[in-house]
C-alpha cells in the first residue's frame, strides 16, 4: 500500500477518500505520460488521470446549464474562457474562476472542473467564467496572474453583453487557483475596482508553506510533500520583488478586499497558510466566512458522488454565492 494511502488510513480519513486514493494509485500505473520529461505530455497524462477519477467520484453537472467557449483577447494573445450560464432572468452575478493544479497542471477542459462549475453556476445562480490561464514552467509568474487580470478587464468592459454589471463580479479558485484569485482581488482593489466577493478553497496562501505545522503534519497526504520547493521554483522562474506579491501572505495591506469565503481542509498541508490569511483578512475588517472541512484532504472537495462532506463543501459555496446574489439584487433595487 502506498505511503500516502497508509497515512490517510492512519489519519482516519473516510472510506470515500481511501477509495479515491486507491483508485488514483491503480490508475497511475497505467498512465506512463505522468512521468514524462516533456511538460505537454505530462499534462496529457494528468488530464487523463483527472478525468478517470472525476468520472468515478464527482457528480455530473446539471444539463440545464449552458456552456459557451469564449476566446478572450489578452496581452499575450487569446485565452479560452468557459462561460457557464444558468437559466437566470435579469441582472446576473459573475464569478471568475481559476482551477487548481500547482500552477503547472490543470485545464478548463478537465471533467472535474466542468462538473463542479456546472453545478456551482446552477446552485449559486451565477455566471461562472473559468479561465484557462497559462501554466509554468513555460510561463512563470506573473503570467497566470496577468491572464486573470486581463480576463477581469474584458469582463468589466463586456459584462453588459451578458447582463452583468461591473459591480457584480467576483473571483474564486482552488489551491493554486485560490492563490491567483486572491492576487487578482488585490490588484483589482488597487486599481479602484470593487469586486463583489472572493471564494478561496484550499488556497496556496504561501509559497513557503513547508514551514507551517500543517505542512509538516500532513505532507504525506498530498503529492506536494517532497516537491514543494521544485514546484515553487518552476512557478516563480526569474521572479523579482518588482513583480509584486506572488502569494496572499505577501500582501501587506488587506483593507478593502471583497467579502470572502475561505475553505480549508483539516488534513491539508496548506491548511495553516489559508487559515492565517483568513485571520489577517478579519483583522483588516474584511467580511470573512471560513470553514475547515473535517477529515478532508487537499483535493477531496470534488468527491461529491461518494462523500457527504464533499457535498456539504460544495453546498456551502453555493449558499455563499446565493447570498451574494440576494444582496446585490437588493442593493440594485
Q: What is the mean pLDDT of the chain?
A: 94
Q: What is the pTM of this model?
A: 0.96
- The span from the CA of 23 to the CA of 27, in Å, is 6
Mean pLDDT within 191-211: 96
Instruction: Look at residue 326 and tell me whether its pLDDT is greater than 80.
Output: yes
- Per residue in 50-97, pLDDT (tens digit) is 999 999 999 999 999 999 999 999 999 999 999 999 998 888 999 999
Per-residue CA distances from 34 to 111, 228, 283 (Å): 18, 17, 42
Task: Using a pLDDT cut of 70, give the percent of the chain over it.
Answer: 95
> Of residues 268, 272, 300, 302, which has the active-site annotation?
268
Q: Residue 1: its pLDDT value, please?
A: 41
Domains in the chain (CATH in brackets) are 3-332 (3.40.50.1820)
Rounded to 5°, angle at Cα 289 from 297 and 107:
50
Q: Residue 224: its pLDDT value, please?
A: 56
User: β-strands 259-265, 164-174: how paired?
Assistant: unpaired
Q: Residue 327: its pLDDT value, please?
A: 87
Q: Residue 227: its pLDDT value, please?
A: 72
Mean pLDDT within 160-180: 97
Instruction: Look at residue 226 and tell me whether its pLDDT is greater than 60.
Output: no
- The span from the CA of 168 to the CA of 125, in Å, is 13
Q: Residue 88: its pLDDT value, please?
A: 82
Report whether 100 contacts 174 (CB < 8 A): yes
Residues 6 or more apart whose CB falls under 8 angstroms from that of 253 comprise 284
> Of residues 175, 300, 302, 328, which has the active-site annotation?
175
Q: Residue 243: its pLDDT value, please?
A: 73
Count CB atoms within 10 A of the CB of residue 319.
Answer: 14
- Per residue in 4-28, pLDDT (tens digit) is 788 899 998 999 999 999 999 999 9
Residue 190 among the catalytic residues: no
Report whether 113 contacts 119 (CB < 8 A): no
Instruction: Look at residue 225 and tell me whether its pLDDT is greater than 50.
Output: no
Report whether 43 contacts 93 (CB < 8 A): no
- Per residue in 111-158, pLDDT (tens digit) is 999 999 999 999 999 999 999 999 999 999 999 999 999 999 999 999
Closest alpha carbon to 310 in 181, 201, 223: 201
> Of residues 298, 300, 307, 328, which has the active-site annotation?
298
Q: Virtual CA dihedral for 325, 315, 293, 258, nearest 10 degrees?
A: -10
For residue 206, what is the DSSP state?
Answer: -
Residue 175 among the catalytic residues: yes
Q: Residue 328: its pLDDT value, please?
A: 73
User: Using 50, 70 and 90 to split pLDDT, how confident is the model at 285?
Assistant: very high
- Per residue in 290-316, pLDDT (tens digit) is 999 999 999 999 999 999 999 999 999
Instruction: Look at residue 110 and tell me whether its pLDDT is greater than 80.
Output: yes
Residue 214 among the catalytic residues: no
Task: Write out the three cell numbers for 225.
Answer: 510533500
Amino acid at each position: 500500500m502506498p505511503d500516502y494511502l497508509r497515512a490517510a488510513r492512519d489519519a482516519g480519513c473516510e472510506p470515500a477518500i481511501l477509495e479515491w486514493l486507491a483508485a488514483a494509485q491503480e490508475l497511475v500505473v497505467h498512465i506512463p505520460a505522468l512521468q514524462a520529461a516533456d511538460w505537454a505530455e505530462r499534462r496529457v497524462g494528468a488530464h487523463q488521470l483527472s478525468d478517470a477519477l472525476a468520472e468515478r467520484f464527482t457528480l455530473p453537472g446539471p444539463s440545464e446549464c449552458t456552456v459557451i467557449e469564449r476566446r478572450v483577447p489578452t496581452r499575450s494573445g487569446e485565452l479560452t474562457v468557459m462561460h457557464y450560464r444558468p437559466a437566470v432572468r435579469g441582472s446576473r452575478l459573475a464569478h471568475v474562476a481559476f482551477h487548481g493544479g500547482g500552477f503547472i497542471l490543470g485545464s478548463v477542459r478537465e471533467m472535474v472542473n466542468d462538473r463542479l462549475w456546472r453545478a456551482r453556476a446552477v446552485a449559486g445562480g451565477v455566471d461562472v467564467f473559468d479561465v484557462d490561464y497559462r501554466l509554468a514552467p513555460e510561463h512563470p509568474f506573473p503570467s497566470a496572474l496577468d491572464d486573470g487580470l486581463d480576463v477581469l478587464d474584458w469582463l468589466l468592459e463586456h459584462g453588459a453583453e451578458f447582463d452583468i454589471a461591473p459591480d457584480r463580479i467576483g473571483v474564486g479558485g482552488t489551491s493554486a487557483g485560490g492563490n491567483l484569485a486572491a492576487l487578482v482581488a488585490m490588484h483589482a482593489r488597487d486599481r479602484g475596482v470593487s469586486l463583489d466577493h472572493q471564494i478561496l478553497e484550499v488556497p496556496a496562501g504561501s509559497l513557503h508553506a513547508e514551514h507551517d505545522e500543517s505542512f509538516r503534519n500532513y505532507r504525506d497526504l498530498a503529492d506536494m510533500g517532497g516537491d514543494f520547493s521544485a514546484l515553487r521554483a518552476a512557478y516563480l522562474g526569474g521572479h523579482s520583488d518588482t513583480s509584486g506579491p506572488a502569494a496572499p501572505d505577501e500582501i501587506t495591506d488587506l483593507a478593502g478586499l471583497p467579502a470572502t469565503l475561505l475553505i480549508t481542509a483539516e488534513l491539508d498541508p496548506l491548511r495553516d497558510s489559508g487559515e492565517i490569511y483568513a485571520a489577517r483578512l478579519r483583522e483588516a475588517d474584511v467580511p470573512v466566512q471560513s470553514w475547515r472541512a473535517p477529515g478532508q484532504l487537499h483535493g477531496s472537495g470534488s468527491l461529491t458522488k461518494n462523500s457527504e462532506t464533499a457535498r456539504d463543501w460544495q453546498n456551502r459555496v453555493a449558499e455563499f454565492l446565493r447570498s451574494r446574489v440576494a444582496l446585490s439584487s437588493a442593493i440594485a433595487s
